[in-house]
């Protein structure tokens, strides 16, 4: 268990945390670009929620000529070209291009080589006039394509969550005199605010379909009881990409293969 055996066997000092803080499945059936976009990305239409529930994490499209792209981060890439030609391929390992702030996927297919580069920069969809958070360049079917895209996200994440248990170990209020650990996820600002039982922290985050990518955390440096718990708790989140499962009023973060943080929604 994370709290019992983990806290006994895994020693993470406050210096480690401070150093961390300092450096810190439905598919498109045509190639018409999606139009369900709000000012900050996809609106929460039934169509896009159905795609998210079916396993789609990222969608993109372009015009002149029309093309569409769907990515399941745990499954396949599905690309449809302007003439209905399609490519389906198991998703390769992502390569992070730090110099240009982008993520690249490259794979060999029976229809030739497929390369997708997703840039972390806004893009205006020329068909809808909406601004989307990602610029997408694709090399496929012996042609180059450019367009806009966005990760899908579950609007229910946008709330305040209190840590209820770690695996089957119930979190006790008596162990946290300043209040139970909690987390606020702000999807509009792509920010996370964390209270770890003693100190307050904030950091960047990005919802990527059914995963959350947390950035660095920074915050206060007060000393309190249970500091080992706080340092270990933060180390499981900061600079990590974490799968999640959400149900009405409940959120589970799979922080490792054998550890799950279970939260309940603040009423």
CA distance 67 to 65: 7
Residue 173 lies in a domain: yes
Q: What is the pLDDT of residue 75?
A: 95
* The pLDDT of residue 34: 36
In terms of domains, do 167 and 261 share one? yes
Q: Are residues 140 and 200 in the same domain?
A: no
Model pLDDT for residues 20-38, shown as the tens digit of each residue:
333 333 222 222 233 344 4
Which pLDDT tens digits describe the chain residue by residue (267 residues)? 444 444 333 333 333 333 333 333 322 222 223 334 444 445 556 788 889 989 999 999 999 889 999 999 999 999 999 988 899 999 999 999 989 999 999 999 887 899 999 999 999 988 888 899 999 999 998 899 999 999 999 989 999 999 999 999 999 999 898 999 999 999 989 999 999 989 999 999 999 999 999 999 999 888 887 678 999 999 999 999 999 999 999 999 999 999 999 999 997
The whole-number pLDDT of residue 43 equals: 56
Tokens linked to 190: 């792509």
Residue 146: its H or E element: strand 143-151
Q: Is residue 10 part of a domain?
A: yes
End position of a domain, from candidates 128, 151, 174: 151
Q: Are residues 181 and 211 in the same domain?
A: yes
For residue 30, is it within any domain?
A: no
pLDDT score of 44: 56
Alpha-carbon separation of residue 42 from 28, 79, 217 (angstroms): 15, 19, 27
Considering 109, 130, 151, which residue would you say is the last residue of a domain?
Answer: 151
Alpha carbon of 171 to those of 9, 13, 185, 239: distances in Å? 19, 22, 20, 24
State the pLDDT at residue 50. Answer: 87
Scored b (16 or more CB within 10 A) or e, 187-198 reads beebebbbbbbb
Q: How many domains does the chain have?
A: 2
Q: Domain of 98?
A: 58-151
Domain membership flag for residue 131: yes
Q: Which of 125, 151, 177 is the last residue of a domain?
A: 151
CATH code (residue 224): 2.40.128.270
Residue 225 confidence (pLDDT): 74
Q: What is the pLDDT of residues 200-252, one digit of tens each?
A: 999 999 999 999 999 999 998 888 876 789 999 999 999 999 999 999 999 99
């Amino acid at each position: 268990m994370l709290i019992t055996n983990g806290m006994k066997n895994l020693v993470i000092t406050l210096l480690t945390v401070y150093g961390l803080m300092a450096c810190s499945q439905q598919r498109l059936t045509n190639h018409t670009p999606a139009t369900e976009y709000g000012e900050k990305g996809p609106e929460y239409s039934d169509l896009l929620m159905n795609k998210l529930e079916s396993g789609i994490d990222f969608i993109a499209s372009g015009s002149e000529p029309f093309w569409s792209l769907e990515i399941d981060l745990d499954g396949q890439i599905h690309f449809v070209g302007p003439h209905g030609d399609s490519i389906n391929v198991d998703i390769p390992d992502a390569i992070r291009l730090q110099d240009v702030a982008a993520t690249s996927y490259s794979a060999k297919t029976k229809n030739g080589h497929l390369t997708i580069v997703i840039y972390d920069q806004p893009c205006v969809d020329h068909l809808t006039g909406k601004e989307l958070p990602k610029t997408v360049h694709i090399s496929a079917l012996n042609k180059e394509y450019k367009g806009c895209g966005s990760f899908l996200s579950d609007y229910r994440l946008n709330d305040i969550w209190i840590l209820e248990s770690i695996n089957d170990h119930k979190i006790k209020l008596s162990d946290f005199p300043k209040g139970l650990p909690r987390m606020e996820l702000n999807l509009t600002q792509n920010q996370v605010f964390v209270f770890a039982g003693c100190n307050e922290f904030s950091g960047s985050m990005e919802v990527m379909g059914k995963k959350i990518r947390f950035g660095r955390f920074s915050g206060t440096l007060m000393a309190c009881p249970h500091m080992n718990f706080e340092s270990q708790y933060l180390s499981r989140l900061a600079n990590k990409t974490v799968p999640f499962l959400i149900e009405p009023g409940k959120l589970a973060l799979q922080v490792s293969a054998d550890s799950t943080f279970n939260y309940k929604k603040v009423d």
